[in-house]
Structure 1
């Protein structure tokens, strides 16, 4: 995400949450989007009350 929103995770918050997200194994595909960006988009959606398709242009698909 290029723009900062008040709902975005801080680096410290991300480091705490990242511990609970399982790392990709060698047989898994590489993710097409970063989980941090997906979480930021979800938190933005929850705080702004908009629909997924009304998210900002640089949000993950």
Structure 2
């Protein structure tokens, strides 16, 4: 849902200029989609270790 609302903000001409941005072209969408896909893949294969304070041993 957040990606869809972000896409609407970026691609709507009147709204995007209000926020000081320009609509994305095909290369921009490819970069954004690739980054989102890589982030999702890392999150799926991470095993839940990143950011989990339960795995930290007390010193």
Could you say whether these structures have the same fold, taking a TM-score greater than 0.5 normalized by the shorter chain as the test?
no
Structure number with greater Rg is 2
The structure carrying a bigger helix percent of its residues is 2
TM-score using structure 2 length: 0.35
Task: Report 1 or 2 for greater relative contact order, CA contacts < 8 Å, sequence distance ≥ 6.
Answer: 1
TM-score using structure 1 length: 0.34
